[in-house]
Amino acid sequence: SKTQHFKWEVGYAFRSPDCVEGLVMGINGQFPGPTIRAEAGDTLHVELTNRLHTEGVVIHWHGIRQFGTPWADGTASVSQCAINPGETFVYRFKVDKAGTHFYHGHYGMQRSAGLYGSLIVDVAEGEKEPFDYDGEFSLLLSDWWHQSVHEQEVGLSSMPFRWIGEPQSLLINGRGQYTCSFASSFIVAGSNTTAGRGRQCQFLGHEECAPQILPVLPNRTYRLRLASATSLASLNFAVASHKLVVVEADGNYVQPFAVDDLDIYSGETYSVLLTTDQNPAANYFISAGVRGRQPNTTQALTILNYKPNPPFKPPPLPPPVTPRWDDFDRSKRFSLKIHALAGRSPKPPMKSNRQIVLLNTQNTVNGLLRWSINNISLALPATPYLGSIKFRLKHAFDGAPPPETFLANYDLMRPLANPNSTIGSRVYRLRLNSTVDVVLQNANAMKENVSEIHPWHLHGHDFWVLGYGEGRFVAAEAERHFNLEDPPLKNTAVVYPYGWTAIRFVADNPGAWAFHCHVEAHLHMGMGVVFAEGVDRVRGIPVEAIACGSTAKMRMASNDER
Ligand code: C2O
Ligand code: CU
């Protein structure tokens, strides 16, 4: 293994990701940011300089567990202070295992501004993947708004509330088409795409918003690495006429299974194998369309280009039709197909030491629309938890333990009778090396008959997905059906409308870790919690990570004493 050095500057730039010009947050002038390619065991050394004019910044390495370097997790207010304009922070950490990952901004809604990129970790030299392929492509999926993130942030915390709405475009590797479609000849009545805006795109290939074409040879197998950095959209990914064999989920091997399409939620990654066994005289559409919310966004499209056809040769067959957005049973069937690959991933402990049930509700706090977990809406403190817990700074956050569950008589199927909730900053303290079960319980939102999808992401750990269920989680009943045989290891798991999702993990990574809905607007509205374990064991927090808030004052006070 080796150490790879990067010098990155984060800054805004004028770009046209979907053929409409706007501001993107890029790295070294690139959008999406540069792809990092490493080998398991490598150390990454990223010197990140903030070239934004008036905002702080941090970058989270989504999927990397940060063993021994919790301060490099890149979560503002949790693992570090935001990096100020003009300042540089060094992220130095080990990529602990192979897999498809990504990185993204984790301060305010900077992921929505376009701060993201791919992070691909190959197996260490001498190791082998449990499958073969001839070539690969990485497809980083995202959604894009024409409204600035600042406008979005202010809208979400204004009265009256202003929702961000559905994205204008979906992007594949930062490219989408808002003003035209290159499948306009196929606009099918009844397909849930709003594809088309009529005009056929005429691309030469060098345009910023021209799709990145995937050139392939016939009768080969390709690995497609998919990662969803979307802010809001749940996506369905498909390649016309081709089967996809799922082999990896969130950086963990799964029992291979073939599908025609797959659902991917924000924060998830997959690898699928695709065999080019179709008529080689044609090109084929690759699509990603909205699921889980009533769509108002055109499918993202690109082309699987069988060589030697010209890259933009129009495919004779229409793009795949995205399954109906509210066919949740279909999504659940897909979730249930995912099993760990025998022999290639650890099994869960048979018992847990603690069970935390987290009720997800939409609430109001002083009239403002928020999301709450067990009736507390997360407001991140000014001092990062890692420092305030380590140095026992009592007033930096609310030290009371947050609730372990919610009221037994709570009606999950109705809007709350009393939607008033409170803002809070409490922390779930986990005993180091204990086994923790978390049940994410969904409920009705503020409107009648509305319950939304929430993909929850855990920092610092992988977890086993033990089961999904409908309605109220009843431990005695549900636990009998937990999958303890081959549950998939993941770092993001979806919670379906009116349902629950149960996960298990071992709290074996000293640090403070965010656990939250990966929908950017939901996290911004309070949909998250913080876990902390073994923080007293954390040694060597770099000064720059804690040079803000109460930890900064503490350091100044101790200097005065000298
Ligand atoms: Cu990819 Cu806390 O997020
Ligand atoms: Cu959510």
Taking only the tens place, the pLDDT of each residue in 423-477 is 999 999 999 999 999 999 999 999 999 999 999 999 999 999 999 999 999 999 9
Residues 274, 382 share a domain? no
Residue 142 tokens, joined: 């995202």
DSSP 292-330: SS---SPPEEEEEEETTS-TTPPPSSPPPPPPPTT-HHH
The amino acid at 196: G
pLDDT classification of 562: cutoffs 50, 70, 90 = low
Report whether residue 111 contacts ligand 1, using a CB cutoff of 6 Å: no
Residues 65, 332, 274, CA angle at the centre, nearest 5°? 70
For 333, what's the count of Cα atoms within 13 Å in the CB-facing half-sphere?
A: 8
Structure-block tokens of residue 211: 């799709």
| Average pLDDT over every residue of 368-391 | 97
- Asked if residue 344 belongs to a domain, the reply is no
State whether 176 and 123 are in the same domain. no
Same domain, 172 and 112: no
Q: Where among 301, 336, 371 does a domain terminate? A: 336
pLDDT digits (tens, 9 = 90+) for 307-325: 999 999 999 999 999 999 9
- The domain boundary, picked from 130, 162, 197, lies at 130
Query: Residue 267: CB within 6 Å of ligand 1?
Result: yes
**Distance (Å, whole) CA 219 – CA 217:** 7
List the CATH number of the domain containing 496. Answer: 2.60.40.420
Residues 256 and 366 in one domain: no
Is 346 within a domain?
Answer: no
Quick one: 41 and 77 in the same domain? yes
pTM of the predicted model as reported, rounded to 2 decimal places: 0.97
**How much distance in Å is there from the Cα of 78 to the middle of ligand 2?**
19
For residue 32, being part of any structural domain is answered with: yes
pLDDT of residue 50 exceeding 80, the answer is yes
Q: How many residues does the chain have?
A: 562
Does residue 367 share a domain with residue 315? no
- Cβ–ligand 1 distance for 514 under 6 Å, the answer yes
Ligand nearest to the CA of 452: 2
User: What whole-number distance in Å separates Cα of residue 510 and Cα of residue 538?
Assistant: 6
Which of 336, 364, 386 represents a domain boundary (last residue)?
336
Instruction: Scan for tokens 């499209």, then name that residue.
Output: 301
Same domain, 17 and 103: yes
Residue located via tokens 């490099």: 72
Q: In ligand 1, which atom is closest to the CA atom of 492?
A: 1
Mean pLDDT across 210-217: 97
Residues 54, 151 within the same domain: no
183 shares its domain with 282: yes
Task: Give the residue numbers spanning the domain of 324.
Answer: 136-336
Residue 341 lies in a domain: no
- Give the model's pLDDT for residue 96: 92
Give the distance (Å) from ligand 1 centre to CA of residue 233.
Answer: 15
Element (H, E) at 357: strand 354-365
Q: CB atoms < 10 A from the CB of 77, how many?
A: 27
Q: Is residue 217 part of a domain?
A: yes
Find out whether the beta carbon of 460 lies less than 6 Å from any atom of ligand 1.
Answer: no
Residue 156 lies in a domain: yes
Is 342 within a domain? no
**Å from CA of 360 to ligand 2 middle:** 9
Cβ of residue 106 lying under 6 Å from some atom of ligand 1: yes
Q: How many domains does the chain have?
A: 3
Q: What is the ipTM of this complex?
A: 0.98
457 in ligand 1 pocket by Cβ < 6 Å?
Answer: yes
Q: Is residue 554 part of a domain?
A: no
* Residue 318 sits in the same domain as residue 438: no
- The answer on 117 and 151 residing in a single domain is no
Q: Which two tokens stand for residue 134?
A: 């001839």
Looking at the fold, whether 106 and 179 belong to one and the same domain comes out as no
